[in-house]
């Protein structure tokens, strides 16, 4: 292949008909190009064709030496594509894109180079076609095909890209014979599933018909042959009839003064075949194999022609359709009827105006025809207006047809179309992440997802997927989803699967903890665990409403109630005897008092959003109302509430999933037991001073003891106070007041 040439080497302008100075142009290419130019100049009089010539020169140079599978020069293909586009009377940008469409993919030319020479529109269109060319479809199911079609339209910013793509596909289908049987099959299948329906949706009847018949020919050669043979014998038999019908229609219309041209024909192989399959009939039973098309000058004459035909030939009931009054979603308009013609032969008639005919043939491409002589109109806005018009039609018809849903992605992009590495399309809601993608593939892929590559690059799991992204999910055996994923996943499928896994693993953990906790507590209470039989246990479980032991264990593990509650039902004497034996006889120490006081105060905190969880304040930091707190799910004892700056809890929090949000329940009644230690000089009256200060702040002393500070040995004392406070603020006031007492060196809170 030749080196990519500098664009400056390419002549910007060549007088048509003159061969380029550098290399001799093969005659076939030259004549193709000349006829293309002639077509353009005929349909776009007065428009500058120089850029088309420049595109040809560039393509000639860059594709030089390249051959198609058939052995022909490669450039024949882009030129034929441009011819197809010229036949639809598309604009110059479209033609140039047709000529250049394979340049970026197959030669060294870049989009930037094209932009410099041909401007933004051509560059953007070639870029769009190149991107579509990179997509690989492996569709075999209807839903998948629909997704691909939607995605294709969603990826395209300029509708001209679709026109070029369809023309490209059409020419490839026309020349499919040169390829291997296997590739023929695949490309033809894709054409039937993806491209023909898109042509249909864009109202491009002619392109659609040819794509379908070619697709049929290569996907089912045998059926195609059979239909063709049957049609051929039909045609021979009915040629006379067709001529007769045409003549008869002509006479009738002339009699009524309706100007018209009349086409008489047999239906297309693919549509006949579809009909045979749908109605499970043979070709002899297809009564409207013959079709007549009447093209007249006005809507009024369409109806007049219909009336004339019905006056002479009997219409078949239920076959009259008025697509003029109610156009099809793709803007197709015509009157349809089937009548019993000469000799009792039924045939189908389509009646339309020239304008309707053009739209039926070229669809969205016909749009450019209206705009002739209006060259400077903003092309994009026209296209959007076209799409909007389609949507409007749809609304008026109250018929949420497929066309609407297909094109709506352009106007309301609510979905994102992504690919597996093998080319399967996965449709997800907008802003979906790789986690949604992973779960869309398979639950296990989702669960074991540890990372994702998008278009070959590693991305964070919270990455928002874009149209056309190819996603490769990295998995690891045995990996499980984390709670954080619930914030990342957007689809309910992914969220439900994540929740299910989290619940299962947490429950398994709780069951294990609950079981051990019960056994341990049984030992502590002197209950002979070996002697407790299963029936007794199950009876207790069912008292709590649990059908299985496992459920009881889980409830214990979650901290819903204590092991003691279970054990006292199993062996009340042992539990009570143990409790009596262990009951404290001496006066409670301040620490014990704190513990007991706090035990009664558990209800002042609750886990956010949950009511039936056992909550207690951790002894290590003894948080009081007003302090910032955090819950930690313990193994078997419910939720421990710590002060957020408690060093213990900070160390525990590496297990993020055990952290839980807790809050103070509003209540003014409760008080919290707090222990303070004060260091005092040896001064008389200091204790009474302290008690009065505490009392003055509205707090209440529950225990007080003073002892000499042995370490100092200078007569100074350590005073331990157990007091009730309402909240953090009150405690702060008490501490501040105690500090102000002369003779008090320091005060600290101890836990």
The residues that touch Mn ion, with contacts defined as CB under 5 A, are 102, 168
718-724-727 Cα angle (round to 5): 115
- In the structure encoding, which two tokens stand for residue 75, read together? 């450039």
Cβ neighbours of residue 722 closer than 8 Å, sequence gap 6 or more: 590, 593, 594, 673, 674, 675, 701, 702, 703, 704
297 included as an active-site residue = no
Residue 722 CB coordination number (10 Å): 22
Taking each helix axis as running N to C, give the angle between helix 269-279 and helix 221-256, from 0 to 180 degrees, rounded to the nearest 10: 110
697 included as an active-site residue = no
Which residue in the list 18, 48, 105, 732 is annotated as catalytic? 105
Query: To the nearest whole angstrom, how small is the minimum distance from the Cβ of residue 310 to Mn ion?
Result: 48
Residue whose CB is less far from Mn ion, 60 or 440 = 60
Residue 454 CB coordination number (10 Å): 17
In angstroms, the first-to-last Cα distance of the chain is 84
Query: To the nearest whole angstrom, how small is the minimum distance from the Cβ of residue 165 to Mn ion?
Result: 9
Q: Are 433 and 488 in contact (CB under 8 A)?
A: yes
How far from chain centre, in Å, is Cα 593? 59
Phi, psi at 658, each rounded to 5°: -95, -5
Residue 711 CB coordination number (10 Å): 8
CA–CA dist 522, 219 (Å, integer): 75
Residue whose CB is less far from Mn ion, 75 or 568 = 75
How far from chain centre, in Å, is Cα 52? 40
Residue whose CB is less far from Mn ion, 136 or 300 = 136
| Helix spans in 525-635 (H) | 534-543, 549-557, 563-570, 572-582, 590-600
Q: Which residues pair with 708 in a beta bridge?
A: 717
- In the structure encoding, which two tokens stand for residue 682, read together? 């040896």
Virtual torsion, Cα 56, 61, 67, 71, nearest 10 deg: 70
Cβ neighbours of residue 134 closer than 8 Å, sequence gap 6 or more: 105
Residue whose CB is less far from Mn ion, 172 or 330 = 172
- Name the residue among 564, 572, 538 with its Cα closest to residue 552: 538
Query: To the nearest whole angstrom, how small is the minimum distance from the Cβ of residue 161 to Mn ion?
Result: 13
Residue whose CB is less far from Mn ion, 102 or 627 = 102
Residue whose CB is less far from Mn ion, 168 or 193 = 168
- Name the residue among 713, 333, 697, 598 with its Cα closest to residue 747: 697
Query: To the nearest whole angstrom, how small is the minimum distance from the Cβ of residue 187 to Mn ion?
Result: 12
Query: To the nearest whole angstrom, how small is the minimum distance from the Cβ of residue 171 to Mn ion?
Result: 7
Q: Are 446 and 495 in contact (CB under 8 A)?
A: no
- Name the residue among 447, 476, 449 with its Cα closest to residue 463: 449
Q: Which residue is nearest to Mn ion (CB)?
A: 168
Query: To the nearest whole angstrom, how small is the minimum distance from the Cβ of residue 167 to Mn ion?
Result: 9
Residue whose CB is less far from Mn ion, 164 or 292 = 164
The residue count of the chain comes to 751
Residue whose CB is less far from Mn ion, 59 or 717 = 59
Query: To the nearest whole angstrom, how small is the minimum distance from the Cβ of residue 333 to Mn ion?
Result: 33
- Name the residue among 118, 572, 25 with its Cα closest to residue 126: 118
Which residue in the list 30, 106, 185, 519 is annotated as catalytic? 106
Query: To the nearest whole angstrom, how small is the minimum distance from the Cβ of residue 478 to Mn ion?
Result: 47
Residue whose CB is less far from Mn ion, 175 or 720 = 175
CA–CA dist 564, 525 (Å, integer): 8
What strands, in cross-sheet order, belong to the sheet with 659-660?
615-617, 639-643, 629-633, 659-660
- Specify burial of residue 452 (Cβ count, 10 A radius: 0-12, 13-18, 19+): buried
Q: Are 435 and 489 in contact (CB under 8 A)?
A: yes
Query: To the nearest whole angstrom, how small is the minimum distance from the Cβ of residue 463 to Mn ion?
Result: 33
CA–CA dist 395, 100 (Å, integer): 39
Query: To the nearest whole angstrom, how small is the minimum distance from the Cβ of residue 377 to Mn ion?
Result: 29
- Specify burial of residue 436 (Cβ count, 10 A radius: 0-12, 13-18, 19+): buried
Query: To the nearest whole angstrom, how small is the minimum distance from the Cβ of residue 412 to Mn ion?
Result: 31
Residue whose CB is less far from Mn ion, 67 or 261 = 67
- In the structure encoding, which two tokens stand for residue 709, read together? 């500070």
- In the structure encoding, which two tokens stand for residue 571, read together? 């062996």
Query: To the nearest whole angstrom, how small is the minimum distance from the Cβ of residue 102 to Mn ion?
Result: 5
- DSSP-assigned letter for residue 614: -
Catalytic positions are: 105-106
């Amino acid at each position: 292949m030749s080196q990519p040439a500098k664009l400056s080497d390419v002549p910007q302008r060549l007088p048509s008909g003159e061969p380029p100075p550098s290399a001799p142009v093969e005659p076939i290419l030259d004549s193709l190009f000349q006829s293309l130019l002639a077509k353009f100049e005929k349909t776009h009089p007065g428009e500058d064709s120089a850029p088309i010539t420049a595109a040809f020169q560039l393509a000639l140079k860059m594709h030089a030496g390249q051959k198609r599978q058939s052995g022909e020069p490669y450039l024949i293909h882009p030129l034929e594509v441009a011819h197809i586009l010229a036949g639809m009377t598309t604009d110059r940008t479209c033609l140039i894109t047709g000529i250049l469409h394979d340049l970026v993919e197959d030669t060294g030319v870049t989009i930037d180079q094209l932009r410099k020479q041909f401007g933004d529109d051509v560059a953007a269109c070639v870029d769009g076609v190149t991107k579509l060319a990179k997509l690989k479809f492996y569709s075999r199911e209807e839903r998948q095909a629909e997704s691909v079609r939607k995605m294709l339209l969603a990826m395209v910013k300029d509708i001209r890209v679709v026109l070029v793509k369809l023309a490209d596909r059409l020419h490839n289908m026309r020349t499919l014979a040169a390829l291997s049987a296997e590739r023929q099959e695949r490309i033809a299948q894709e054409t039937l599933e993806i491209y023909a329906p898109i042509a249909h949706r864009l109202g491009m009847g002619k392109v659609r018909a040819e794509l379908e018949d070619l697709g049929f020919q290569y996907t089912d050669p045998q059926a195609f042959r059979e239909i063709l043979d049957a049609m051929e014998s039909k045609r021979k038999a009915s040629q006379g009839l067709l001529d007769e019908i045409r003549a008869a229609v002509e006479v009738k219309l002339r009699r009524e003064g309706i100007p018209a041209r009349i086409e008489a024909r047999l239906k297309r192989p693919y549509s006949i075949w579809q009909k045979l399959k749908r109605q499970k009939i043979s070709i002899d039973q297809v009564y409207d194999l013959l079709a007549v098309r009447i093209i007249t000058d006005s809507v009024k004459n369409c109806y007049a022609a219909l009336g004339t035909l019905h006056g002479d030939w009997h219409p078949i009931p239920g076959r009259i359709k008025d697509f003029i009054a109610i156009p099809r979603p793709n803007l197709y308009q015509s009157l349809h009827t089937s009548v019993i013609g000469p000799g009792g032969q039924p045939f189908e008639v389509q009646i339309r105006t020239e304008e309707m005919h053009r739209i039926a043939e070229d669809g969205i491409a016909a749009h450019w025809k209206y705009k002739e002589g209006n060259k400077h109109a903003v092309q994009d806005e026209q296209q959007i207006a076209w799409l909007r018009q389609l949507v409007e039609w749809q609304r008026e018809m109250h018929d949420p047809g497929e066309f609407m849903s297909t094109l709506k992605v352009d106007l309301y992009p609510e979905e994102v179309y992504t690919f597996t590495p093998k080319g399967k399309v996965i449709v997800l809601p907008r802003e979906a992440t790789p986690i949604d993608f992973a779960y869309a593939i398979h639950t296990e892929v989702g669960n074991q997802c540890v990372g994702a590559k998008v278009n070959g690059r590693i991305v964070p799991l919270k990455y928002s997927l874009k149209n056309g992204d190819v996603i490769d999910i990295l998995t690891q055996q045995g990996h499980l989803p984390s709670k954080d994923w619930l914030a990342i996943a957007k689809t309910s499928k992914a969220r439900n699967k994540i929740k299910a896994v989290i619940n299962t693993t947490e429950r398994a953990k709780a069951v294990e903890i609950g079981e051990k906790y019960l056994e341990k507590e049984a030992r502590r209470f002197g209950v002979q665990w070996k002697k407790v039989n299963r029936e007794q246990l199950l009876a207790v479980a069912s008292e709590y409403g649990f059908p299985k032991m496992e459920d009881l264990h889980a409830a214990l593990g979650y901290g819903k109630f204590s092991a003691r509650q279970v054990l006292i039902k199993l062996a009340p004497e042992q539990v009570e005897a143990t409790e009596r034996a262990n009951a404290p006889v001496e006066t409670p120490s301040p620490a014990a008092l704190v513990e007991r006081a706090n035990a009664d105060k558990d209800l002042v905190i609750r886990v956010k959003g949950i009511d039936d969880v056992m909550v207690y304040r951790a002894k290590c930091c003894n948080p009081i109302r007003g302090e910032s707190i955090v819950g930690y799910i313990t193994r078997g004892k419910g939720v421990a509430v710590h002060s957020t700056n408690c060093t213990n809890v900070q160390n525990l929090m590496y297990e993020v999933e055990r952290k839980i949000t807790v809050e103070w329940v509003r209540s003014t009644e409760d008080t919290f037991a707090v222990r303070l230690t004060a260091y005092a000089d040896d001064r008389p009256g200091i204790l009474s001073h302290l008690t009065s200060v505490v009392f003055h702040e509205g707090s209440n002393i529950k225990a007080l003891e003073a002892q000499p500070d042995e370490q100092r040995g200078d007569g100074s004392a350590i005073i331990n106070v157990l007091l009730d406070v309402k909240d953090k603020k009150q405690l702060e006031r008490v501490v501040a007041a105690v500090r102000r007492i002369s003779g008090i060196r320091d005060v600290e809170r101890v836990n």
